[in-house]
């Protein structure tokens, strides 16, 4: 299916078989070391939404900072299933899409999640960029 210059994939085709596994693989080599990833989530109506994000890496998981009033936060709260892909700063996907599971981290885990991002991006170290509405997401690529 196509619309407005983009490919729309029905929700039933969004995830590959075996995505429900809780066994985590190492961060895929296509993602490791990239500057940006596209975090692809689903709206309730099944439309895909791709958002380029900064991410930190720790213990074979990815960490993303977002705001609690953002669409991606609300979509992940509704459904933890997602996809990730390497991308440019403007969101152009430059590699394969991979199935993933995302969750909102509890507040006690935010300091070290923030550190993983700040270690990679110097702009994330500037405290006036932080918001009281920031939350952190943990993303795993299932086996």
What integer pLDDT is reported at residue 123 of this predicted model? Answer: 60
What integer pLDDT is reported at residue 128 of this predicted model? Answer: 53
What integer pLDDT is reported at residue 118 of this predicted model? Answer: 81
Tens of pLDDT, residue by residue, the chain (143 residues): 344 444 444 443 444 433 344 445 677 777 888 888 999 999 989 899 999 998 888 888 999 888 888 989 999 999 999 999 999 999 999 999 999 999 999 999 888 888 888 877 656 556 655 556 788 899 998 64
What integer pLDDT is reported at residue 17 of this predicted model? Answer: 35
- What CATH number belongs to 29-140? 2.30.110.10
Residue 45 to residue 105: CA distance in whole angstroms: 25
What b/e sequence results for 119-128 when a residue is b if at least 16 CB atoms lie within 10 Å of its CB, and e otherwise? eeeeebeeee
What integer pLDDT is reported at residue 126 of this predicted model? Answer: 60
Residue 61 to residue 79: CA distance in whole angstroms: 18
Q: Domain spans of the chain?
A: 29-140
């Amino acid at each position: 299916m196509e619309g407005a210059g983009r490919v729309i994939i029905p929700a039933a085709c969004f995830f590959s078989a075996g995505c429900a596994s809780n066994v985590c693989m190492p961060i895929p080599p296509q993602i490791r070391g990239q500057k940006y990833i596209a975090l692809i989530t689903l709206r309730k109506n099944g439309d895909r939404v791709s958002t380029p994000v900064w991410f930190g890496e720790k213990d074979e998981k990815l960490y993303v900072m977002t705001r609690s009033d953002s669409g991606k936060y609300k979509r992940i709260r509704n459904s933890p299933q997602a996809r990730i892909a390497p991308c440019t700063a403007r969101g152009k996907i430059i590699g394969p899409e991979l199935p993933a599971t995302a969750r909102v981290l509890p507040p006690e885990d935010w300091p070290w999640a923030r550190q993983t991002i700040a270690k990679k991006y110097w702009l994330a170290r500037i405290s006036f960029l932080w918001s009281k509405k920031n939350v952190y997401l943990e993303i795993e690529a299932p086996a």
